[in-house]
Each structure stands twice: as structure tokens, then as C-alpha cells.
């Protein structure tokens, strides 16, 4: 019996079984990923109940719920950022009475230079103030020194 527990194969099997159990329980809430064509066909078939559009640089990231999905289940799709895509989405939403369409605005990213300057300017001000105070104390000491 001791030989079995000392064997590397036994520990490898325990590790694999543990990893398998973890994967089974952790992958339940992963979203379904739809391609652009799959999204538009399910949308035109009336199988979408909820949509949330988020504008990215050149695409719309879409999260939604299909017919038969529970509250915590959803899908993700990416469609081009164009008038044609939006027209198809809004037309299908009117036709099939999709509950809610939320359009979240695009997050504007700040420039790297702006971030650099806003993070370094306070330190530069502190350094300049320290340098000025040091210079003032040196000048005062020289003026007060007897000749």
C-alpha cells in the first residue's frame, strides 16, 4: 500500500481528477460566443430577448440573452460599427419586441502622454519646492556668516 502512495502516477491521477472537477464547476457561467452571422440570424429569427451594446473602436460588443436562457446566462457577439448593423439591430428590436436595448457609450482612453504628465507633475513640483527651500537656506547661511 505504501508503494502506491509513493508512486508519482497516483499523485498525477489525484491532480487530474481535482482539475476535472474544478473545470466542471467553473465553466457553467461562461458566455456563448456568437459570430456576426450567427448573431444576425438569431436576431432576425426573434430568438433574442435582451441586448446591451457597447461601442468599442470599430465594433459593437454585444451582450444579450437568447430565448430559453436563464438570468445568469448570456451571449457575446461583435458586429462592425456601421449604420447598416445598427439599422438591422433596431429593426429587429422593433419587430420582435426585445425587452431592453442599452447602448453604453464608448470609453475614451486617455493618452499615454497625459497619464505620464499627470502622474509626474506633482513629483516635479515637490522636487522644485525642495530645491528652492534648500537654496534659500544656503543663501541665508552665507548672508549670516561673519566676515
What does pLDDT average to in each consecutive run of 10 residues of the chain (147 residues)? 65 81 67 85 84 82 82 83 85 78 67 86 93 92 84
Q: What pLDDT was estimated at residue 123?
A: 92
Domain that holds residue 8: 1-28
24 shares a domain with 36: no
Q: Are 37 and 89 members of one domain?
A: yes
Same-domain status, 70 and 114:
no
Residues 49, 99 within the same domain: yes
Q: What is the pLDDT of residue 99?
A: 66
Question: Same domain for 39 and 69?
Answer: yes
- My answer on whether 80 and 119 are in the same domain is no
Instruction: Check residue 27 and report its DSSP letter.
Output: S
Buried b / exposed e over 105-132, threshold 16 CB at 10 Å, is eeeeeeeeeeeeeeeeeeeeeeeeeeee
Phi–psi pair at 26, nearest 5 degrees: -90, -15
Q: Could you give the 3-state DSSP secondary structure of residue 53?
A: strand
Do 8 and 42 belong to one domain? no
Q: What stretches of the chain show up as alpha helix (H) in DSSP?
A: 2-6, 8-26, 36-44, 83-96, 112-144
C-alpha–C-alpha distance, residues 44 and 53, integer Å: 17
Rounded CA gap, 134 and 47, in Å?
72
State phi, psi for 79 to the nearest 5 degrees: -125, 155
Residues 44 and 69 in one domain: yes
pLDDT of residue 88: 86
Q: Given this model, what pLDDT does residue 59 score?
A: 84
Q: What is the pTM of this model?
A: 0.50
How many domains in the chain? Answer: 3
Residue 91: what pLDDT? 85
Do residues 43 and 88 touch, judged by C-beta distance below 8 A?
yes
Q: Are residues 117 and 96 part of one domain?
A: no
Question: Using the 8-state DSSP alphabet, how is residue 124 labeled?
Answer: H
**Rounded CA separation 45/38 (Å):** 11
pLDDT value of residue 75: 86
Statement to judge: residues 143 and 131 lie in one domain: yes
Residue 22 shares a structural domain with residue 40 = no
Amino acid at each position: 500500500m505504501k508503494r502506491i502512495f509513493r508512486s508519482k502516477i497516483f499523485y498525477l491521477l489525484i491532480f487530474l481528477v481535482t482539475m476535472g472537477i474544478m473545470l466542471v464547476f467553473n465553466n457553467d457561467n461562461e458566455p456563448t460566443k456568437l459570430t456576426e452571422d450567427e448573431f444576425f440570424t438569431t436576431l432576425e429569427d426573434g430568438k433574442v430577448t435582451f441586448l446591451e451594446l457597447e461601442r468599442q473602436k470599430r465594433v459593437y460588443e454585444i451582450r444579450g440573452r437568447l430565448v430559453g436562457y436563464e438570468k445568469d446566462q448570456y451571449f457575446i457577439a461583435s458586429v462592425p460599427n456601421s449604420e447598416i448593423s445598427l439599422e438591422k439591430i433596431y429593426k429587429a428590436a422593433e419587430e420582435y419586441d426585445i425587452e431592453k436595448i442599452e447602448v453604453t457609450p464608448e470609453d475614451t482612453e486617455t493618452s499615454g502622454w497625459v497619464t505620464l504628465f499627470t502622474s509626474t507633475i506633482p513629483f516635479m513640483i515637490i522636487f522644485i519646492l525642495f530645491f528652492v527651500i534648500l537654496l534659500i537656506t544656503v543663501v541665508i547661511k552665507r548672508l549670516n556668516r561673519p566676515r
